[in-house]
Structure 1
């Protein structure tokens, strides 16, 4: 029995074929941990032309996705489901997608994604059908397929048994609230560039301290906004203050 079922409503199911048959998500399917069902909601349109969009009331450019095919497709998916899963609308107007949101979604065993196209959705889809509305960034894409893949990939990594190293998902950037520390591997020296000596020392406590401080440093340099929501120890605060003092001297 799969630990996660993804149902994806899309007009272009072929866009998902490469994604689902590659890398980690492919292995998750092969292990039976994840199951993905691609649903072309055009099949649920009632007219003989299988129409899924129409011009907006009140005029204006572009086409709007009709409510009937999407509602009907979701009803079909839920007919044998006892607990209604989150129904996620991919939209540039949605809640910004974060690691915390991925963790919340990964606690479910069933997710339904709706991928739109054209100018937008009939508002009744937002109001009366969807439980979540998610955006992966402040920009507009042709459709919701690529954003849905991003969310599915992020959620899949968090499902127990998917990653070979279960620590990886815990220490990834954003999982702790901070950006991840730098990584190094063999050789210890390449073109005159050496791996930090502390990583070669075998002293695990010093290595963990270095990693924590480098994670703090990288977050402070690149995403200082994240530090506002991280629980910092007195040692963390002292280290950040030392970075600020150094910067002050340089200025």
Structure 2
């Protein structure tokens, strides 16, 4: 997988690309991560990439020419026959979730555009990008942090990126539910004990307990997820019991 990030702050991206799971995946050759400063494609002596909006108004708007030129440069450098998904990080985009992560993780090449200032020239949206993504209903200074968040969620889904290949499968949202609680040594800490079932060694019963815990946690914290989660008849029966026993 190749991921290119168009940004005015490549050093911000590179500091993340070299650490933790991203850094290890990069070293292993699982993913190629590149930060491209689109100011290098400004095409003017002042290296400006923004201008005042037509029609008046406050703030500055990112110009289309440096963005288009930077994307074209990336495409030329990659020389891949596969057309990449070009993603604009934007508050007006589709709210990002695990389902989108699993879809994008199948792509071989992604380009992220991280803006600043008041916004983007509309021609970037209309004639360049394939996707617009938002991290939620709030505003940040730029698109770098959202893009890095998305990239982290994608890389960890790549085969070989995680030490334990089942980790990504059992994460919250991957199954449509929140994840069950985890415990480790010591078995008792300050009087708080690990549930006996986890110490029993009976793996079938442990799996049943974990599924029930995931259902209960989702019911309590994110009941909206239950509307779209893939639930078995056993899950539905367990939910009925949980609802009856839950405090009013």
User: Which residue of structure 2 lines up, in the alignment, with residue 228 of structure 1?
Assistant: 227
Equivalences for 1:48-197 in 2 at 5 Å?
Answer: 48-79=45-76, 80-197=79-196
With the length of structure 1 as denominator, give the TM-score of the two structures.
0.96
Structure 2, unmatched stretches of 5+, are none
Superposition deviation, residue 133 in structure 1 = 0.4
User: Which residue of structure 2 lines up, in the alignment, with residue 30 of structure 1?
Assistant: 27
User: Which residue of structure 1 lines up, in the alignment, with residue 198 of structure 2?
Assistant: 199
User: Structure 2 CA distance, aligned partners of 1:242 and 1:83?
Assistant: 50
User: Structure 2 CA distance, aligned partners of 1:91 and 1:110?
Assistant: 20
Superposition deviation, residue 18 in structure 1 = 2.2
Detail structure 1 runs of 4+ shifted over 2 Å in the superposition.
none
User: Structure 2 CA distance, aligned partners of 1:37 and 1:19?
Assistant: 11
User: Structure 2 CA distance, aligned partners of 1:58 and 1:136?
Assistant: 29
The alignment partner of 1:117 has SS state of: coil
Q: How many residues align?
A: 246
User: Which residue of structure 2 lines up, in the alignment, with residue 43 of structure 1?
Assistant: 40
The alignment partner of 1:133 has SS state of: strand
Superposition deviation, residue 21 in structure 1 = 1.6
Deviations 1:66-109 (A, max 9, x none): 00000011111112232210000001111111111111111011
With the length of structure 2 as denominator, give the TM-score of the two structures.
0.97
Deviations 1:8-34 (A, max 9, x none): 100011111321121111101111111
Structure 1, unmatched stretches of 5+, are none
Superposition deviation, residue 153 in structure 1 = 0.2
